[in-house]
Structure 1
Amino acid sequence: MQTSRLPSEYIREFDKYLRKTCLDRIKEISAEEDDTAHYAVEIDIIAMQNIAPDGCAALLHDPQTALPLLEEAIQNLQESFTDNPKANVHARVCHLPSTPAYLKQNISALRNRDVDKLLSLLGTITRTGSVMLREVTREYICSKCKNTIVVTGDISQRGAFAVPTRCPRSCPGTKFVPLDDVPPVCREYQEVKVQEKVQHLDVGSIPRSLIVILTDDLADTVKPGDDVVVSGILYRRWNKPLIVDSRSDVELMLVALHISSNNEKKSFLHQLTARNLILKSICPQIYGMYLLKMIVAMSLIGGVSYCDPSGSRIRGESHLLIVGDPGTAKSQILRYAAKISPRSVLTTGIGTTSAGLTVTAVREAGTGEWMLDAGALVLADGGVCCIDEFDGIKNHDRGAIHEAMEQQTLSVAKAGLVCTLDTRATVLAAVNPKGGKIYFGGDQLPITVGIASPLLSRFDVVLTLLDQKNEQWDRQLSSFILNGYEAPSMEKADKIWSTERLRQYLYYIKTDLKPKLSPNAQTLLSKYYTMERASALVRLAHSHARLMFRETATALDAVFAIAAVEASSDTHEVVGGMGALHAPFPENPRQEFEKYARFILGKLGLEDAGISFYEDDAPVDS
């Protein structure tokens, strides 16, 4: 901030920006009836750069001085058109320049030069403390001359007040006592912990965390698992008083000025024309596995969630369990699924406890307050939780995830903290068969995986990968590896999608498309379903319709939903007479589909039902 310029000049700069971009919002706040509530005015730094460049530079380089001037300009603008201006109006600075100096994707990138500067931080909320009241100002009186001094608490030091040592009137008084008859001025205060995103880290790096302070209208606006962009001022916080010849205890913290969700929709201009091209783009270094990749894609996309008349939420997330011999690429599939999901957590069942999967109660060192630290399922809310070696989770720890997988919530009662957290995550898990042998048949499945039936029933699909001897498959696989992980028959026009493009497409169809079942799809599913698989079939049909970029789940989607469910039963040879492991991508997808569809219609006795697979079908209202 240029010291040669007067504060009034900056106020005029800010006023010019506010009148051009924020006038309607300030008038709206002035018309509100509640005078005690806190109100926010969003300040777009990029827009201010074009309208008031000097004010923008002052905010970026000296926010502690410029921010009070900005809020004073807001107050003056209120007073220009109302006799009753609101006192608690806050400038929420956002949209900082996307440069390394102001946008920090990793907490480990913070340096000493960033202290007292305005910056933005990307991360995930892992812990939220209780919303408390913080005393903002306190009045002291000089015992000598009775002069009153107003002291503001230092928010970077947990609201501590620096008691005056000398009277500003230059009297010899050095003793000051607080005024007890003055009511305290308090505001909301909350501490949360933000962890840097795993996707932005190098291999082997440990995710770091940072304390973020939320005040006034920002308090209690986020929960564990939220991906956020936080804009604020970076401070140092001393955890204990400075003592000579003693090591100091200092940490960095960010006082938030603005916080928002980072799940913004990204534009996607190219429509899907070939579903198999997308499936080939999933873990392209693995040859074939057409059925597995299709079911993984359907699980990542999920169905449409809704609330029944009683208000209970029916989950749309479709859980998948992969059971296979060692060396069948289960771990690679899980890692790639976590990579293409906008929000993901990858863990292993060996050594994992119920607290690591759900939440754990920890005591904050500075305040002694109990807080909840989010586990894998809470952090994956709205995304995918990939758990390798799922059978490695101990039996008494598995019970903690029953509610999280079915009701998509987590009821917590620890250390006096009673609450409910959302766990709307898709669970992709992988296990090796017990004893190295896969037993087929519905009654034998718990024996194969060593997982009890109640937990097993939470998975919509339990896919088995059986590594059988197959000379033709081994020849094709060896050719794929020797050709540099490119199938000999793959044309140049069939270039696979990049990871970023695939992630954008999956996120788009998952958030924007809400398909409904067509009459033909309802006929197929109602004729096929068993009671415990009804919801799973609907979810899988919805997810395949989304994969095909449609608003209606047709009979074609119903057939592939049935194929996915059949893959988890004793009829494991579903596609082309081969198991899920040895299922190559069909050279003629339509011909293969029609062959399987005729087989399904024949089994269900619907050959003469007149079901159409390719014509557009009107959705059924539900």
Structure 2
Amino acid sequence: MEEEIREFQEYFSTALKDDVFNLIQGYPKVRSLAVDLAVFAQQYSDLAAAIMEKPDDYQKAAEEALRKTVEALGGQVLQGSGKPRVRFYNLPGKEILVQYLGAEHLNKLVQVQGVINLMTDIRPKMQVALWECTYCETTTKNYPDKSGLKPPILCGKCGKKEFVLLESTSDFVNTQYGQMQDLLERVQGSSTPSHIDVWFEDDLTNVVMPGETISITGVLRLMPRLEKGRAKSSIYGKAFDVVHVKKEEKEFEDISISKDEEQKILELSRNPRLQELIVGSIAPSIWGHKEVKAAIALQLFGGTPDKLLSDGSKVRSDIHVLLVGDPGVAKSQLLKFTELLAPKCIYVAGRGASGVGLTASAEKDKAGEGWVLKAGALVLASGGLVAIDEFDKMDKDDRANIHEALEQQQISIAKAGIVTRFKAKTSVLAAANPKLGRFDSNMQVADQFDIPPALLSRFDLIFTMRDVLDEPRDRKVAEHILKGLQQSAGVKAGTSEKVKVEGIESDLLRKYIAYARRTVFPRLTDEAMEKIKDYYLELRLLGNKTQTFPITARDLEGLVRLSEAMAKMRLSPAVELQDAEFAIALKDFVLKDVFVDKATGKLDTDVINLGRSHAKADRIRTILNVIRELERQVDLVETNEVLKRCVESGLDEQEAMRVIEELKRQGELYSPKAGFLKTAVSRTWKE
């Protein structure tokens, strides 16, 4: 290896001389020299190829050359765990997917890109074990591997087999275990991403967090498996010893777009029917629901990311959409199609997803030796979308875990001394059923949502999807479904065909979305800003007259996000008047469908944000005040007397009775015996 060491030393002292000086000045805090292997190969092609074929041998040669180079330049470094490391990266050729790592890559230097979904805390690893013979006290070194510590076979001096491990004088290095999976955008449709164990050592520990996208260079190793306690299996596991790690920041950078495809994307963006074509390409097998499809289209494009306010706080750019509908109205189909179309998406079902499975967690590892940080769906899909079906079936505690992720776009963990945050810049498309299974036209729409108001208020758009008995509409739905089935009759079962969409081929649309998200960052024009402001002020003025809250400042931010997404759909750097008008029309549709108080016919966002309209809050206050006034006179208050006084106060008797029953369900009131009421606690009800 003398010739190879000389070549390494020559390269380090010339091409990387400044980097070596930086290492000397920063040592021991800085103790790695990064070597771009693609650049190195231009000068030493044979040696670069040898490094990739036999990385263990040439890694040692490179680090010996680095030691000599440092000493030649007047520096001093430690040996053992403190010695400087050479970290090769940017290998010539393409990166390999985790799912394709196999026997041909064993013990070779390869480069893989993926996302970290699990990470342990730092642990000391013995890299040089020192053993003492119990008979002659001769010490012997060996190098443990991942299969465990093994004493020497024989003492080199006396030939005995009894040894004791000298832990205090053995050499240790920091190590960290993680798990990496293929990027979602590189996995087609609903395919499951492949995983691999990864090991970080020395100055590579505490560099990455779960949920981060990284490109790693390393050596693929075999991991022996035990069967029936002791017997070795002939099937081995695999793990990755990391040599170099680089964080990837750009969205969808891994989705390859050729020059021809880019030209098609630009031509499509100039089509005057662009918005109609894209919306029509969202689940074309499903008839109708144009507004819902438009919302999903805008959600896929998203708003302008990384906006900062003057005080340094960030503004959410991801759009959250909730679909609440009767059974059989294609909610799940819309979610599944979105999963296939979105460049980066995770689909989960509410029944099978726990709160920590959606967010993140800190748990004891299987061996009980430390803590493991696990990233959930909202973290792993950061920069993309999570589709949550049966959102209403999730446990209440689990739903509470996603509050922070929906608004702050981060997930905080504070457990057993671990305090950390995960990035969760993820859009959420959720689907749920009404509380009673189907919508009841006689009830307030918002009262039929089995989702807490605090969580509902995080969604930018909420749609109701109702199965209405309507002969002309039913005829169109039937014709659309049957025609689609007729056309697909020739497709053989079990074949894997691309999803065909009306107007735009699905692969092109997928790349169009990725191209827009990574290259277009629109800003509001004065005209668009004035339009949004006028709409907001108009509704606030209406609320002042009707004593309701038709719109809030949170809705204002949502309108900006929708407008930016519309501009991004057009690949426009500016949010223009037409974009604001489209966003306002969509918001107006939702307000009139969901946010109207059925009793008064007035727009009121309190029906969602507080779980009751302003008018209903007044009715509750009136009823409770009547009951408390009567309680001062008698121990038990007659229900009929309460209803009589409520009618005298201007309330409808049936509505008053409905409110009383609701207050009983909520625990505000109870019936000590039939026909009588009593307040559960003595307190003043607050709006």
Normalising by structure 2, we get a TM-score of: 0.69
Question: In the aligned structure 1, how far is the partner of 2:191 from the partner of 2:581?
Answer: 44
Q: Is 1:37 matched up with 2:30?
A: yes
Q: Is 1:504 matched up with 2:504?
A: no
Q: Is 1:420 matched up with 2:421?
A: yes
SS in 1 for 2:366: coil
Contact 1:10 1:54 in 2 (8 A): no
Post-superposition shift, 1:195? 3.1
CA distance 1:67–1:290, change in 2 (3 Å): same
Question: In the aligned structure 1, how far is the partner of 2:188 from the partner of 2:341?
Answer: 16
Contact 2:133 2:162 in 1 (8 A): yes
Q: Which runs of 5+ in 2 are unaligned?
A: 489-500, 537-550, 596-687
Report what 2:578 is aligned to: 556
Q: Which residue, 214, 234, 239 being the options, matches 1:228?
A: 214
Quick one: which amino acid aligns to residue 580 of structure 2? A
Question: In the aligned structure 1, how far is the partner of 2:438 from the partner of 2:175?
Answer: 56
Post-superposition shift, 1:455? 1.2
Post-superposition shift, 1:190? 0.8
Q: Which residue, 480, 484, 494 being the options, matches 1:481?
A: 484
Q: Is 1:134 matched up with 2:119?
A: no
Question: In the aligned structure 2, how far is the partner of 1:88 from the partner of 1:326?
Answer: 64
Question: In the aligned structure 2, how far is the partner of 1:233 from the partner of 1:147?
Answer: 34
Identity percentage over the alignment? 28
Q: Which residue, 46, 55, 60 being the options, matches 1:63?
A: 55
CA distance 1:163–1:552, change in 2 (3 Å): same
| Map 1:286-365 → 2, pairs under 5 A | 286=286, 289-304=289-304, 305-365=306-366
Post-superposition shift, 1:565? 1.3
Q: Is 1:521 matched up with 2:528?
A: yes
Q: Which runs of 5+ in 1 are unaligned?
A: 1-6, 486-493, 574-622
Question: In the aligned structure 2, how far is the partner of 1:139 from the partner of 1:233?
Answer: 26
Quick one: which amino acid aligns to residue 35 of structure 1? P
Q: Which residue, 539, 542, 545 being the options, matches 2:561?
A: 539
Report what 1:368 is aligned to: 369
Deviations 1:536-573 (A, max 9, x none): 11221222222222222222211111122123222589
Question: In the aligned structure 1, how far is the partner of 2:85 from the partner of 2:454?
Answer: 51
| Map 1:536-615 → 2, pairs under 5 A | 536-571=558-593
CA distance 1:351–1:9, change in 2 (3 Å): same
Question: In the aligned structure 2, how far is the partner of 1:245 from the partner of 1:92?
Answer: 37
Post-superposition shift, 1:33? 3.5
CA distance 1:164–1:284, change in 2 (3 Å): same
Report what 1:163 is aligned to: 151
Q: Which residue, 109, 116, 124 being the options, matches 1:125?
A: 116
Q: Is 1:53 matched up with 2:53?
A: no
Deviations 1:216-261 (A, max 9, x none): 2322222222233333222234577998668799643211112334
SS in 2 for 1:222: coil
Post-superposition shift, 1:310? 4.6
Question: In the aligned structure 2, how far is the partner of 1:203 from the partner of 1:294?
Answer: 21
Question: In the aligned structure 2, how far is the partner of 1:478 from the partner of 1:338?
Answer: 21
Contact 2:211 2:422 in 1 (8 A): no
How many equivalent residue pairs?
547
Deviates more, 1:142-151 or 1:218-227: 142-151
Post-superposition shift, 1:355? 2.6
Deviations 1:76-107 (A, max 9, x none): 444454445787433333344657xx82441x
Report what 2:270 is aligned to: 273
Post-superposition shift, 1:127? 1.0
SS in 2 for 1:514: coil
Question: In the aligned structure 2, how far is the partner of 1:242 from the partner of 1:393?
Answer: 38
CA distance 1:495–1:92, change in 2 (3 Å): farther
Post-superposition shift, 1:477? 3.0
CA distance 1:88–1:473, change in 2 (3 Å): farther
SS in 1 for 2:127: strand
Question: In the aligned structure 2, how far is the partner of 1:207 from the partner of 1:572?
Answer: 38
Post-superposition shift, 1:110? 4.4
- Larger radius of gyration between Structure 1 and Structure 2: 2
Report what 2:395 is aligned to: 394
Quick one: which amino acid aligns to residue 209 of structure 1? H
Post-superposition shift, 1:348? 0.8
Q: Which residue, 87, 92, 97 being the options, matches 2:87?
A: 92
Quick one: which amino acid aligns to residue 235 of structure 1? R
Q: Which residue, 171, 179, 184 being the options, matches 1:193?
A: 179
Quick one: which amino acid aligns to residue 319 of structure 2? S
SS in 2 for 1:568: helix
The alignment yields a C-alpha RMSD, in angstroms, of 3.8
CA distance 1:462–1:242, change in 2 (3 Å): closer
Normalising by structure 1, we get a TM-score of: 0.76
CA distance 1:329–1:26, change in 2 (3 Å): farther
Contact 2:392 2:450 in 1 (8 A): yes
Contact 2:382 2:423 in 1 (8 A): yes
Q: Which residue, 50, 55, 64 being the options, matches 1:72?
A: 64
Report what 1:218 is aligned to: 204
